[in-house]
Each structure stands twice: as C-alpha cells, then as structure tokens.
C-alpha cells in the first residue's frame, strides 16, 4: 500500500476519492503466480486485475503454434479492463511473467462502476489507448528493428515494471516474447554480455549498464513511454 492507503497501482492511485470509494468494497488482493493464466483468448473473463507489482505478458498465438508478446502490463496498467467494457471475452492470452500481488474485482462490479462513473470509464479508455500504442509499437519493432534493439527494448520495459536489474528469464522465454528463434537470443545475449551491458547465466539476466542498454534499444521504448505519459502521466 502507498502513503495514500491505496494499492500501488498507478490507475488506482489516479482515481479521485469518490471513484475509489466505489471500487473499494469490491477489491480483493491476490497473488499472481508465475505462469498462471489471468485470461485466455476467446474465453469469458471473470475478473479484472490491477497489478501492484510483477508483470503480465499479453500474447497472441499464430496458426503454426508460434506465440509472440504484444504488450507487457504491470503496476501502471489494468489487465482485462477493455474487454470487460466490451463483450467480456479476452482478446488475447494474459500470462503472469513475473510474480506479484494485484487488486482484483469481479467483472460485473467493474462494469457497474464504469457505467456509474464517467471519469472511471474514461480512465480505462485512456489506458486502452496506451495498450493499443504498446501493441502497435511492438508490431513495428518486431518487423523493422534488429534483434539486439528489440531485446534491449524488452529488457528495459521488464526492468521498469520490476524495479530490479535481476530478471529471471530463459532464452526460450525471451525468444517467445520478441518473436525470434532461441539461437538469435543466444547470439545477441552473448554480444551484450561481452560489451558489459548485461550478465547472463542460465535462467537469469542482470542489467549491468543501464545507459548502454538504453542506447542499444530502438526509439520504440521511448515512444511507448511518451504515449503513456501523454494519456496517463509518467508511468
């Protein structure tokens, strides 16, 4: 909890007192366990999640079985908000990547509050614009930029959400997140390690030189942060 007595989720922190009082009776705190599924593409949602920490990977699967991440959500986000305002069906898979706690409420209560409060509904809609910007920028990045820049961008976002330079990640996970083969991740990770930017051991990446990692990343990292700041304030 923060000094305001609210959970440390940016959207919950942004609510005015009246809107938060509408939510408060319906909120419960849960632990998001790594690899647990918060939403499955095509399935009805039961809950909406406001993470306090950790991160949730929003992924889509192709017909050939390949999976790629379109956005990573954490304490600056809500998981399932847009779908809850629409038909209640998850448009993509939402899988916990890094564990953490979250505030959650049932989708029926979420919808009732959104119908009652225009300011709350507006906040969720602005968040969905941010999520769309994430997805669009990820698509552009994965199409146009080299693997090294894409990996750097992804690691920076993961670090922002975790507040930790040590990230428990396998090469397989990284390859899935940015849509490349595992051997491509291996080559780039070794190059970044030789340059003193990261330290990589089996299942663990430590960011050593943050400014150098930012310099290695493409403009997509700053573009997404700019969209977030414009619509919701600094993440």
pLDDT at 3 over 70: no
- 81 shares its domain with 180: no
Residue 181 lies in a domain: yes
- 29 shares its domain with 94: yes
| Mean pLDDT value across residues 90-110 | 95
Residue 169 lies in a domain: yes
| Mean pLDDT value across residues 221-230 | 91
* pLDDT per position as a tens digit, 26-46: 999 999 999 999 999 999 999
Strands 93-98 and 55-61 turn out to be antiparallel
What is the pTM for the complete model shown? 0.92
- 164 shares its domain with 211: yes
- 85 shares its domain with 189: no
pLDDT at 67 over 90: no
- 169 shares its domain with 76: no
- Report the number of distinct structural domains present in the chain: 2
The Cα–Cα gap between 151 and 139 comes to 14
Which pLDDT band, with edges at 50, 70 and 90, does 63 fall under?
A: confident
Q: 2-6, 137-141, 172-176: which has the minimum mean pLDDT?
A: 2-6
């Amino acid at each position: 909890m923060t000094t305001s007595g609210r959970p440390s989720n940016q959207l919950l922190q942004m609510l005015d007192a009246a809107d938060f009082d509408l939510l408060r009776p319906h909120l419960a705190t849960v632990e998001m366990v790594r690899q647990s599924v918060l939403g499955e593409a095509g399935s009805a949602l039961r809950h909406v999640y406001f993470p306090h920490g950790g991160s949730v990977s929003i992924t889509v699967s192709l017909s050939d079985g390949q999976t790629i991440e379109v956005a990573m959500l954490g304490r600056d986000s809500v998981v399932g908000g847009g779908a809850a305002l629409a038909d209640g069906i998850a448009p993509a898979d939402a899988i916990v990547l890094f564990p953490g706690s979250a505030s959650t409420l049932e989708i029926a209560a979420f919808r009732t509050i959104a119908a009652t409060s225009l300011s709350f509904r507006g906040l969720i809609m602005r968040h969905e614009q941010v999520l769309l910007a994430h997805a669009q920028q990820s698509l552009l990045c994965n199409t146009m930029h080299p693997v090294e820049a894409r990996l750097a961008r992804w690691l920076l976002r993961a670090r922002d959400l975790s507040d930790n330079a040590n990230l428990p990640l396998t090469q397989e996970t990284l390859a899935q997140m940015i849509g490349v083969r595992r051997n491509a991740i291996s080559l780039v990770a070794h190059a970044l390690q030789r340059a003193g930017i990261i330290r990589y051991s089996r299942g663990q990446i430590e960011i050593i030189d943050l400014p150098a990692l930012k310099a290695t990343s493409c403009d997509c990292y700053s573009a997404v942060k700019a969209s977030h700041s414009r619509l919701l304030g600094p993440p």
